[in-house]
Amino acid sequence: MFVRWLIYPLLLVVVGVFATAILVAFAAAMIWPTLPSLETLADYRPKIPLRVYSADEKLIGEFGEERRSFVAIKDVPKTLVDAILAAEDERYFRHKGVDYVGIGRAALANLSSAGVRQGASTITMQVARNFFLSREKTLNRKINEILLAFKIEASLSKQQILELYVNQIYLGQRAYGFASAARIYYGRPLDRLTLAETAMLAGLPKAPSSFNPVANPARAKLRQQYVLRRMREMNLISAEQQSEADQQQLVIKNELNEFATRAEYVAEMVRQAMYERYREDAYAMGLRVYTTLQIDHQNAANAALRAGLLAYDRRHGYRGAEAFVELRPGASEEALEEALQNYPDSEDIRAAVVTEASPRRVTAYRRGGEYVEITDAGLRFAARFLLDSANPNQRIRRGAIIRVQRADDKRWHITQIPAVEGALVSADPRDGAIRALAGGFDFAQSQYNHVTQALRQPGSSFKPFVYSAALEKGFTAASIINDEPLQFSAAQTGGKRWEPKNYDGTYDGPMTMRQALARSKNLVSVRLIQAISPRYAQDYVTRFGFDAKQHPPYLTMALGAGSATPLQLTAGYSVFANGGFRVKPYFIQRIVDGRGTVLFEQPNVRAGINAERAIDERNAYVMTSMMRDVVRHGTATAAMSLGRGDLAGKTGTTNDFLDAWFGGFNANLVAVAWVGFDQPKSLGRHETGGNVALPIWIRYMRVALKGAPETPLQAPKGVVNAGGEVYMQEFAPRGNDNNANDTAAAESAPRAPAPAAPEAARNQLF
């Protein structure tokens, strides 16, 4: 009787198991043909983002929804493989896709805890899920996952599957794959991680959000300790290694966009160019774009532009609180953080919300939980806005959004983001490679790229192109031109009656062209363009890359009344710097795809080799000589503080002080600085190109040319020296026995403030 009662249950169990097996087999037979193809695994192409690099291969930008870096399994450190297996699948190399021992262990653990506490997904099952399945928790999905695991194991080797896992798994912070996570969390490649750092990463796949060391450092530490403990239990590390790793203080990167330099404007130029060529694929095909930017040049350009704009802004005073928010008494930290949500920091200029304010002390909350106290000198810039008599819409009081900055004295000071904008760009005049490009004060504040997009009046910085046209027509640097008032009727100008004036309102009578350029005499430029004709000047400036439509053929062209961008001016000055050749500025050196295939490489076009000639090399020489005098004796003498004799350039200031420019160069580098308001308005009287733009240029060049030897100005054939002046041979004074290349003394000797003009040039007085 007892045996019978024992047999029946056992029989039922056997029948049940057999029936279940049949059902599972039937389900498998039905599902197997519908399983997805494994072609995507065999030809794995992860969505690797577009990455932008400097010329020295430092990362400066990245675009794509997913942050990935592919690493071959042979290049994955053994320590990482050990940590992954200890954390996720210790029997990986002993099972065929499904770990029955692990399933049994997980089932017992879950039964004993009366709930689901452990899973039993193998690495192969995780690969199946990540590539082909949703994350819904249903029986059908689990059966598909198991069957796919079998199929994957039958098709790929263990090393291939592990490579897929290492590169595909999500690890938080938009990082997919361990190579990307290593860079994002630690700023280093996989092979430079410590055991402690490796164990932290290996603990992430189970729950990337919960164990994220940025968001949840305490839970991440517990998970790391679990991984280390499992590695010790499996004899993969020693007790000493476990202890040492456990005690190591990890430094996690909190800033997700740490690049080698701030080059957002260039990175965006690259993104736009790649999107035009590859559309949406540009963000997923692993393109690596190597630009012409040099890190030290870009850092110098950023620093110079910010310093120049901040100096201008400080000269014009504090404008008052940036905005106001309502702060209830005893406002929580969450409320203070919310108040700052729409006011991003600008590098070291931090947004802060005022919690207490008086004429002698301001307390403000800064993003991240820090309260800063500002007193004494730190209040001086905004002192009058702390008084009760200040305009309520500007006064610094509780709830005011202000900007603070830690000064050299380590104390906090009230400051502000400049309302004025600016740009700085530099390029190698020999081939056009852009070395630095700062398109504005802060890309986060404004994505408008003033280097490439801001068409502004170039003012006197355009005069060298008019002078060059005059040289082509037979004028010389010694030609005498009258600096006296002129008046033009509306019929002559094609518009309004016009009476041009010099900047300072004074007139100095007859002077040489060399003198006139150095002193930026407007009336001389107008007389020159009268003599050569505006139509000829308009056609001539196109040789430098300017668009004729932007420079109408009127007399006002003499004063730079057309429109040009800083990049166009850089290209134009490059013609003078390189001996008369036209080179197009470029910023992309080469494009490489995810497999290392070079898709594009910039053609090697160089001045003097295969570049198009724009102007006579003698014209370029004479103009460079004249523009060196602008630096030595004229409106840009401040540049002599660099202690170099090979610099040439021209200042530029437009009517009503709307724009301030300086463009300058030597034989190896051209740089142009511009300052102005986006909605044009006066920068203020005396805020000229020499006072506003030139200091930015000088600060950049001090770094860019540090250690670079001077480049002497070599005279080409057909240039003669007569009476201390240089001429193109056919326009030299008659009756002089001139040596056609004896110009070294003329170029290096100091010139008198008013050099005498040769007799032939005196006849050109008008």
Full set of structural domains in the chain with CATH: 66-247 (1.10.3810.10), 319-415 (2.40.50.140), 424-704 (3.40.710.10), 719-762 (no CATH)
Q: What is the pLDDT of residue 9?
A: 63
To 5 degrees, how large is the angle CA 374–CA 309–CA 633?
A: 130
The Cα 564–Cα 672 span in angstroms is 12
Q: What is the pLDDT of residue 38?
A: 65
Q: What does the block give as tokens for 210?
A: 């919960």
- Residue of 643 and 214 predicted with greater confidence: 643
DSSP bridge pairs for 757: none
Helix, coil or strand: residue 296: helix
Helix, coil or strand: residue 268: helix
What's the rounded mean pLDDT across residues 713-739? 86
Q: What does the block give as tokens for 139?
A: 């029986």
The Cα 463–Cα 465 span in angstroms is 5
To 5 degrees, how large is the angle CA 69–CA 71–CA 76?
A: 130
Kindly report the number of other CB atoms within 10 A of residue 217's CB atom: 13
To 5 degrees, how large is the angle CA 538–CA 542–CA 543?
A: 125
DSSP bridge pairs for 659: 676
Contact partners, residue 152, CB within 8 Å, separation at least 6: 38, 41, 97, 124, 127, 128, 161
**Beta strand pairing status for 659-665 and 648-653?**
antiparallel
User: Quick one: CA dihedral 133, 135, 136, 137, positive or negative?
Assistant: positive
Contact partners, residue 134, CB within 8 Å, separation at least 6: 141
**What residues are labeled active site?**
88, 460
The Cα 389–Cα 308 span in angstroms is 32
Contact 61, 266 (CB under 8 A): yes
Q: What is the pLDDT of residue 490?
A: 80
The Cα 405–Cα 349 span in angstroms is 5
pTM of the model: 0.82
Question: Exposed, middle or buried: residue 472 (CB in 10 Å: 0-12, 13-18, 19+)?
Answer: middle
Kindly report the number of other CB atoms within 10 A of residue 270's CB atom: 26
Map tokens 């000055």 to a residue.
Answer: 573
Helix, coil or strand: residue 358: strand
Q: What is the pLDDT of residue 14?
A: 55
For residue range 473-514, list pLDDT tens digits in order.
999 999 999 999 999 888 777 678 889 999 888 999 999 999
The Cα 74–Cα 603 span in angstroms is 36
pLDDT over threshold 80, residue 241: yes
Q: What is the pLDDT of residue 148?
A: 83
Helix, coil or strand: residue 596: coil
Q: What is the pLDDT of residue 149?
A: 84
Map tokens 């006064």 to a residue.
Answer: 395
Pseudo-torsion of CA 617, 619, 621, 625, nearest 10°?
Answer: -170
Grade residue 757 by pLDDT with cuts at 50, 70 and 90: very low
Helix H or strand E segment including 747: helix 744-748
Q: What is the pLDDT of residue 334?
A: 87
Contact 476, 731 (CB under 8 A): yes
Q: What is the pLDDT of residue 182?
A: 93
Poorest-pLDDT segment among 117-131, 264-278, 279-293: 117-131
Q: Work out the percent of the chain whose per-residue pLDDT is above 70.
A: 86
The Cα 273–Cα 449 span in angstroms is 15
For residue range 601-630, list pLDDT tens digits in order.
999 999 999 999 999 999 999 999 999 999
- Residue 205 Rama label (left phi>0; alpha psi -120 to 50; beta): alpha
Grade residue 222 by pLDDT with cuts at 50, 70 and 90: very high
DSSP bridge pairs for 651: 662
Grade residue 217 by pLDDT with cuts at 50, 70 and 90: confident
Helix, strand, coil percentages (3-state) for the chain, rounded to 5, are 45, 15, 40
The top-scoring range by mean pLDDT among 8-12, 124-128, 211-215, 586-590 is: 586-590
Grade residue 742 by pLDDT with cuts at 50, 70 and 90: very low
The Cα 193–Cα 195 span in angstroms is 7
Amino acid at position 40, single letter: T
Contact 339, 402 (CB under 8 A): no
Contact 659, 564 (CB under 8 A): no
Contact partners, residue 287, CB within 8 Å, separation at least 6: 50, 51, 274, 278, 591, 592, 593, 594, 599
Q: What is the pLDDT of residue 43?
A: 65
Q: What does the block give as tokens for 253?
A: 């990167």
Contact partners, residue 679, CB within 8 Å, separation at least 6: none
- Which parts of 103-180 are beta strand (E)? 175-176
Phi, psi of 614 (to 5 degrees): -100, -45
Poorest-pLDDT segment among 23-37, 64-78, 207-221, 248-262: 23-37
The Cα 157–Cα 574 span in angstroms is 58
Contact 440, 449 (CB under 8 A): yes
Map tokens 């002559």 to a residue.
Answer: 492
The Cα 309–Cα 556 span in angstroms is 29
Mean pLDDT score across all residues of the chain: 87
Q: What does the block give as tokens for 133?
A: 């399945």
Question: Exposed, middle or buried: residue 457 (CB in 10 Å: 0-12, 13-18, 19+)?
Answer: buried
Question: Exposed, middle or buried: residue 704 (CB in 10 Å: 0-12, 13-18, 19+)?
Answer: buried
pLDDT over threshold 80, residue 120: no
Grade residue 23 by pLDDT with cuts at 50, 70 and 90: very low
Amino acid at position 304, single letter: A
